[in-house]
Amino acid sequence: MSGAKSVNQQRLWQRHADMAKLGGTPRGGVNRQALSPEDAAARNQLAGWARARGFSVFTDAIGNLFVRREGTDPAAPPVLSGSHMDSQPTGGRFDGMYGVLAAFEALEALEDAGIKTRRPVMAVAWTNEEGSRFQPGAMGSAVFAGTYRLDDMLAQKDWKGVVLKDALADTLKAAPAPMRDGPPGFSVDSYVEAHIEQGPRLENEGKTIGVVTAIQGSRRYIVTIEGEEAHAGTTPRAARKDAYAAATRLAAAMYEATTDEADTLRFTIGRVEVSPGSPNTVPGKVTFTIDMRHPRNEVLEAHEAKLRAIVAGKAAPCPAVIERVTNVAPTDFDPGVIGLVRDKARALGLSNMDMPSGAGHDAMHIAKLCPAGMIFVPCERGISHNEIENATPQDLAAGTQVLVEVLEALANR
Amino acid sequence: MSGAKSVNQQRLWQRHADMAKLGGTPRGGVNRQALSPEDAAARNQLAGWARARGFSVFTDAIGNLFVRREGTDPAAPPVLSGSHMDSQPTGGRFDGMYGVLAAFEALEALEDAGIKTRRPVMAVAWTNEEGSRFQPGAMGSAVFAGTYRLDDMLAQKDWKGVVLKDALADTLKAAPAPMRDGPPGFSVDSYVEAHIEQGPRLENEGKTIGVVTAIQGSRRYIVTIEGEEAHAGTTPRAARKDAYAAATRLAAAMYEATTDEADTLRFTIGRVEVSPGSPNTVPGKVTFTIDMRHPRNEVLEAHEAKLRAIVAGKAAPCPAVIERVTNVAPTDFDPGVIGLVRDKARALGLSNMDMPSGAGHDAMHIAKLCPAGMIFVPCERGISHNEIENATPQDLAAGTQVLVEVLEALANR
């Protein structure tokens, strides 16, 4: 029996239901923020399931929780798969948790099928991916990858002033697991993360598997336009410096300049402030934010140049400036892992499409350490970070079937 | 000597300076709200000047203050001129006050020139034009014209709960004048109001006299666009219902559709609310206000139809509605009075231009009673309702020269 055939859809779905009780909300979502008692309960749940199957469990100094299924060559760097178990304050039951449970189901499926792998295969639940209680997010994977310093992270405080180090100690006391000595991080052969898409593309295109090629880069900007307040009844158009009329010219030109045929570039004006905001006063000042994302840095660069040209050319008679406030580079996943995901999905007869990830994930940090990739499954209407987040048992199982086949292949390379 | 030649620029300017002390602010403006002690002081000042020239003074039941220079036919309906003496909380020294002092200067100039007129010529200070303390504004002229009921107005309260009737009684006690019996309003032959433009057109075009042809109509609208909140990173353009992208299409089309060659139509988007206002969330809802004004009702009607067509045609895929929340019809001034103002300005060698008034004035109510018109003079950079409001002694005198000539002509018709 193959690993994929041993994936147990009912068991996987039930594990989601069990985990959803830990921090469950009346509306069907979860509030299981990082290093909370609910997070500890989830850790205990996962560790209990793992021990029941004879897998070893350990944690590290930032609280990442590992489950290990031994390989025939215990000294070989393991193949790793997982995601996170913490949630947004009004989060859904699949975001992150699916990647952890899919990895664990993969371990169980390999076990059920009696498949031996050369490399160990491990599941991981990274600490604090959401970043809603302690900043920054994707913390556990970033510390594991050496991107953030452990001591800096341990000193972080939540909004109540609780120090992360203390919250972590409480969590590990409530959910004890053997501690791996030394700083987080060890040699890993490869990494694959399963996740709900958190967007509508798979659903809209009727595909079951998203072959994730990259995590797109994102840049954020603030545009500020200075006009002159004037009486709406008495001031002729020619005498106005109407900051909102200028903002409209800029926004219209920007929407047009960022319309790519492939619909890959993401361009959003999300926050707009118009001052003084009186119906009969010509606006004297407008600010708006731009969020722009694309898997390729050179495309972001080219479109940033277009935005700058629009601000320079179309705001007159109002002075306008555009300021870049963040710039996160894209993550390109490993062609070998991407190819494996695509091939295994095809071999399983699952409809699939290549796609970048719109959101950030732990995989972007681990991709700096080793060949990495991701597998997406559809979520209902693309809705995530929301208590009504939903996915089907069939799609979750299908993604896990691809995952176990990919992990097996990687573990026997 | 003509009435115009008898206009005393220095006296007129000094009277503005004297009045500016009553409620004067450190920044050079005035805070002389309706029926305040400062308003009473201004009434006493005007009445004192009037009595010193032998003019009769009286008030009416809403507190309008009249100064009468007798005609050779005392029974003939008088020619009336004036404006208001109340100000915004942070108002300027010319808004309203200029029209009262120009009318009074006209009476003095006629007196100084020894000119007899068949009809009496009267100056008036209308009660509560600004409407900043007691609502609605242009109250005294509206009660005089029968547009508002006296009893309704006497029952109005300011934000502290002071009843207008009591504030009026206190004012008339502090600034006593003979009370005309009966409800406000009497037969008037014609009405001419001088005012600073409160806009930049005269200054920009280098003209001294604005021949006011109308007070433009104004309509106000609220546009509401319903989109769908979505993740800025994961949601393709084709799957978005971006309320702000739709709002931008509507606004861009509206700015274009309201661009008239003569630059007479006033179109302003002054208040814009974008929800939820998060930089990385596609906006789910946008509302914005429209303020549209024009001297001709049919032009407003035609452009309203254009706005409605734009909302119906360009918001897809977002549902959008436009709601009209106010509709104030234009006031057309009397062609005879308009012609007189234009002719007298020309005869005096004063540069002039026909123009509508962008703001509302007491004249819009009195125009329902009798032939009426207005004379505008420039104000610096068009700024009004502001303590830095400014005008030149020369322009104020020039407007008064036109006024006295017009009043004399009307009084001898």
Transcribe A342-373 into DSSP letters: HHHHHHTT--EEEEEESS--THHHHTTTS-EE
Q: Are residues B168 and B35 in the same domain?
A: yes
First to last CA, chain B: 20
Contacts of B264 in chain A (CB under 8 A): 236
Check whether residue A201 and residue A179 sit in a common domain: yes
Considering the domain architecture, whether residues B323 and B266 belong to the same structural domain is answered as yes
A115-A119-A125-A130 Cα dihedral, nearest 10 degrees: -120
The answer to whether the CB atoms of A255 and B234 lie below 8 A apart is: no
Write the residue in A201, A244, A382 that is nearest to B272 by C-beta: A244
- Does the pTM exceed 0.80? no
Interface test with B, best of A260, A268, A331, A374 (most B CBs within 10 A): A268
For helices A9-20 and A393-411, give the axis angle rounded to 10 degrees: 110
Q: What is the ipTM of this complex?
A: 0.78
The confidence score (pLDDT) of residue A1 equals 78
Specify whether the CB–CB gap between B137 and B130 falls below 8 A: yes
B81 and B16: one domain? Answer: yes
Contacts of A255 in chain B (CB under 8 A): 245, 248
Residues 6+ apart with CB under 8 A from A177: A43, A47, A57, A58, A59, A65
Could you say which of B328, B354, B375 is where a domain stops? B328
CA distance B125 to B109: 18
Q: How confident is the model at residue B230 (pLDDT cuts 50, 70, 90)?
A: confident
pLDDT band at A328, cuts 50/70/90? confident
Residues B225 and B89 in one domain: no
Which residues form the domain of A252?
Answer: 217-328
Same domain? B208 vs B223 = no
- The answer on B80 and B22 residing in a single domain is yes
Which residues in A lie closer than 8 A to residue B274 (C-beta atoms)?
A: 270-272
CA distance B50 to chain A (A): 33
Residue B89 binned pLDDT confidence (cut-offs 50, 70, 90): confident
Q: Do A188 and A262 sit in the same domain of this protein? A: no
Chain A residues within an 8 Å CB radius of B270: 232, 244, 274, 277-283
pLDDT digits (tens, 9 = 90+) for B245-267: 999 999 999 999 999 999 999 99
Q: Of B328, B355, B375, at which residue does a domain stop?
A: B328
Which letter does DSSP use for residue A76 in this model? S
For A229-241, how does the pLDDT look when each residue is reduced to its tens digit (9 = 90+)? 888 998 899 989 9
> Do both A191 and A229 map to the same domain?
no
Interchain pair B270, A249: CB under 8 A: no
CB contact under 8 A, B234 and A259: no
Ramachandran bin of A16, using left for φ above 0, alpha for ψ from -120 to 50, beta for the remaining angles: alpha
The percentage of residues in chain A with a pLDDT greater than 90, rounded to a whole number, is 89
How close, in Å, is residue B304 to chain A by CA atoms? 16
Residue A319 has pLDDT above 90, yes or no: yes
Q: How many domains does chain A have?
A: 2
> Smallest CA–CA separation between B291 and chain A, in Å?
6
Structure tokens at A27: 């509306």
Closest Cβ opposite residue B233 in set A272, A280, A293 = A293
Listing DSSP states for B387-402 in one string gives TT----HHHHHHHHHH
Q: Name the residue facing A279 among B220, B255, B263 (closest C-beta).
A: B220
Query: Which of the listed residues B328, B349, B371 is the one where a domain comes to its end?
Result: B328
